[in-house]
Structure 1
Amino acid sequence: MMPNYPSNINRLQFGVIRPELENLHQRTKPRQVDLYDVFCAILYILRNGSQWRALPHDFPKWQTVYTYFRLWSQQSAPTEPSLLDQVLNKLSFTLRSQQDRSALTSFIIMTAQSVKNTATAENKGYDAGKKISGIKRHLAVDINGFPQAIHITRANVSDRDGASAMITLHANDLRYVCNVLVDGGYSGVNFKLDVMSDLQATVQVAKRNELHKFEVLPQRWLVERSFSWVEKCRRLWKNCERQLHTSATVMTLAFMSVLLRRF
């Protein structure tokens, strides 16, 4: 029997996403491993930041776990969501519905986070503003802090350009958005035009210098709290992934772990 690691979710929580994970491919023979054990193994890697080959022997073989990870994160096309992306959207929709909110939000808060690379990561750029060589994580959340869009770029991509690309890729999921809240780094006519073109939404810029003193920006702190949720995963303290798509998948899994614990 597998030990109850702190990174594990319980079987009732896993039952929320089990149908999607099981129905990815039709099988003609019994499954050799329990998908619950596989998913908990992936969460162990994510939470503890260990290598795939260092997976404890309590879990299925690391090769099996990694195969499922790659299978669940595959995209049929660059603009199509992976299975894990679809599951994360389902979790967000379900939790919003439990609060008597519409499944699709009309208000999002956006920001970006530059992260240093490790030696194994291949994609990198240099963020001259924060003096970080690595990648940049672009995130849009709703009023609850639940993720609505995730996009990963090299760190040399500006916040505005990365956010515009994220909006274009996730325009269908954000189609009901009417208002976008950002900080001063997103100021500019071009970004507002991109948001209006893709979402027919308005941009609200919260500038700290207008407060004339240091204060937590109203509602802007929600997106920073969302980053703090996933930063409990050591795998996200730095970027360890070779590909940008894998970096986005790791972010998706981290948010899945957060949202599943609310069921």
Structure 2
Amino acid sequence: MYPSDLTDDEWVILKSLFPDPGYDTPKSGRPRDWSYRLILNAISYISKSGCQWRMLPSDFPPWSTVYTYFRKWKIDGTWKKVHDALRDMAREQTGKEAQPTAACIDSQSVKTSVKGEAEVMTVER
């Protein structure tokens, strides 16, 4: 058990957002070797600890399996669904509408590469 592991309450919220277990099972019907919860715990561990994929502790699934799921979920939009569901839930808990209706960009926080006047380059011949 790691501090980064999902709690039971967190898992209840997230489990419906991940693909049906048959999603990645070959036609032979072979069951998956690792639960989605354990894979999510491994991804959370990497995210919170900052360790490299190959340095994942041995009580998690193999790093290559965890990375494969992470990448697949990125490509198929699963992570976006998770983000959107958690954002909606957090907004509703604070009494706001689930979907934001406006956004604000603060121009002061945008870094620029040129300060002041534009540079003029001259070439001597």
TM-score by length of 2: 0.72
In 2, Cα distance between equivalents of 1:51 and 1:35: 20
Q: 1:184 to 1:50 in 2, by over 3 A?
A: closer
Q: 1:45 to 1:97 in 2, by over 3 A?
A: same
| Structure 2 letter corresponding to 1:183 | S
**Pairing 1:19–2:16 present:** yes
Q: Which residue in the other structure is 1:130 paired with?
A: none
| Structure 2 letter corresponding to 1:88 | H
In 1, Cα distance between equivalents of 2:69 and 2:109: 38
Count of residue pairs the alignment pairs up? 106
Give the 5 Å matches for 1:177-256: 182-184=106-108
Question: Does the Cα contact within 8 Å between 1:11 and 1:36 map onto a contact in 2?
Answer: no
Give the 5 Å matches for 1:73-222: 73-75=74-76, 82-110=77-105, 182-184=106-108
Q: 1:60 to 1:102 in 2, by over 3 A?
A: same
In 2, Cα distance between equivalents of 1:109 and 1:61: 42
Q: Which residue in the other structure is 1:58 paired with?
A: 59
| Structure 1 letter corresponding to 2:81 | Q
1:100, distance to aligned residue in structure 2 (A)? 3.0
Q: Deviations over 1:133-188 (max 9, x none)?
A: xxxxxxxxxxxxxxxxxxxxxxxxxxxxxxxxxxxxxxxxxxxxxxxxx23467xx
Q: 1:185 to 1:40 in 2, by over 3 A?
A: closer
Q: 1:72 to 1:29 in 2, by over 3 A?
A: same
Question: Does the Cα contact within 8 Å between 1:55 and 1:62 map onto a contact in 2?
Answer: yes
In 2, Cα distance between equivalents of 1:57 and 1:185: 41
The structure whose Rg is larger is: 2
Any stretches of 5+ residues in structure 1 without a counterpart?
A: 76-81, 111-181, 187-263
> Which secondary structure does the structure 2 equivalent of 1:86 belong to?
helix
Question: Does the Cα contact within 8 Å between 1:41 and 1:59 map onto a contact in 2?
Answer: yes
| Structure 1 letter corresponding to 2:32 | R
Q: Which runs of 4+ in 1 moved over 4 A?
A: none
**Of the candidates 2, 6, 10, which is equivalent to residue 3 of structure 2?**
6
Q: Deviations over 1:83-119 (max 9, x none)?
A: 1012101111122223332111123333xxxxxxxxx
In 2, Cα distance between equivalents of 1:9 and 1:40: 6
> Which secondary structure does the structure 2 equivalent of 1:56 belong to?
coil
Question: Does the Cα contact within 8 Å between 1:52 and 1:66 map onto a contact in 2?
Answer: yes
In 2, Cα distance between equivalents of 1:61 and 1:69: 13
Q: Deviations over 1:41-96 (max 9, x none)?
A: 11111111111111100111111111111111115xxxxxx210121011111222
In 2, Cα distance between equivalents of 1:59 and 1:26: 19
TM-score by length of 1: 0.37
In 1, Cα distance between equivalents of 2:24 and 2:36: 15
